[in-house]
Structure 1
Amino acid sequence: MERRARGGPRAGAAAAAAAVIAALAAAGCGGEEAAVPDAGAATAPATTAPAAPATTAPDPAPTGDPRVVTRRVGAPGRDGAITFTVRRIAASAPIRVPFAAPLRAPAGRRLLVAVVDLRNHSGAVADPFCGGGGARLVDRRGREYEPHRRVYVVPGNRTCTGIRRGRTVTETLPFVVPAGARVAELRLWDNRQTADFLGEGHVRVLP
C-alpha cells in the first residue's frame, strides 16, 4: 500500500513557492542591478565655455596736432567754450521748412545731415554756425563741404538766434555732396575764437 508524503498538498505548494523565490533571487529577477556611485569617489567639475569678449570700436588715432580733438560719433569733444556731441551723420530726404521750398540736393548729388548737440560753457551767447564757419564735412577724397547756406531755416535749429550760456541745443546741419561721396570726418569748432576763425583747431568726428 502506497504511503503518502507528510504534510499533504499544502506542504507541496509551500515547497514549490520556496523554489520559485529562490530561483528569482538567484537570477536577480531578470534585471541588472543599478550602479550606485561611490560617495567618496572624485567627480569631474562641470565646465562652461568662456564668454566671448565684447567687441568695441578702437579709440580713434590722434592727428598729432594738439589743437585737434578726435572723437567718434556719440562721444563729446570740446573746442573753445563749446562741447560738441554728434548723434549721427546720415543720408536725408528733402527737409521740409516753413514758408519756403524744401532743402534738397540737385540731380547727381545727395543730401546728408549731421545731428549735433552743442553745450555753451561761455558767459556769452554762442552761435558757431551762423554766417559760415563752425562746421565742415570732409569726404574720403579730401573734398570739403560747408553746411547748406539755409541751415538757419531747418526746423528746431538755433542758428543765427544763439545759444545762451549754460544751455544745450540740438542742431541739424545739412550738407550737399556728390552722389558717390563717402564721409571721412566732420570738423566742428567754436568760431568765436578770433585767432582760429577758420578752425585749424577743431573737434574731428569720425563716423
Structure 2
Amino acid sequence: MTNAMLNLGAGVVQFKNLALVAGVATPAQVSAIAALPGVQSVYLNRQLQYYGQGAGLYALMLHESVPTIRADAVQAMGITGKGMGIAILDSGIDGLYNPDLVYPTHTVQNIKVIFNLSDVVTFKGPAPKPLKQGLDIFAENLPNSETSVGHGTHVAGITAALGTASADYYKGVAPGAQLVGIGTGDVLFIFFALAGFDYILEHRQDYNIKS
C-alpha cells in the first residue's frame, strides 16, 4: 500500500502497530488511493473536539471527585496504582513546574509531536528519506510537553496527582501510578491521535501501561 501511494505522488507516514497509513495527497490522488486494491476506507484528517458538561459530576473539584468515586477508600487500602503506567494522550504534561506531576520521577516519559510535516512525511523521489513510523514523530524526554492549553496537565492531575502542592488536598485517583505524557499538540487532529496510540502500543511494556 505504501509503495502504491508513493507511486501516485502522495506523501506517506506509516504506523508500526496500526494497520493504517497516513497520507498527504491532492483530491485526485485521494480518489486514486481509494480505488487501490485492499483499501477499506479513507478518512479526512479532521480536528477532534473535546466534549464535557458544566454541571453534575463534571463540575466536581478534584478533592470532591476522588471521594465521590470512592478512590480515597481504595487508596486507604493501599491500592494507589503503584507499579502501573498510565498514558495521557492529550495536549501534554507539565512535569517541570507542576510538583504533583514532576518529571522524571512521576511523569516518567514526556513526549511532544513534531509538527513540521517535511520532517515526518515521505514522498517518492530520486533519493527518498527512510519511511517514518507514526511513533517516530515525537520528541522524547521533555520535562514539559504542555506548551499552552493545559488540558493534558489537568487530565494528568485528575489521574495521578501526588498532592504535593496542596498537602494531599488535591490528590489524584491513582497517585502511585507513573505517567507517560503524549503531547499531540494544542489542536488535536486524527493523525496525531493515531500516532500517539502507535507510540503507546510500542512502549506499553517499557512503562507497564495498562490504561
Alignment TM-score > 0.5, same fold = no
Bigger relative contact order, structure 1 or 2 (CA pairs below 8 A, ≥6 apart): 2
Q: Is the helix fraction higher in 1 or 2?
A: 2
* Alignment TM class, shorter chain as reference: under 0.3
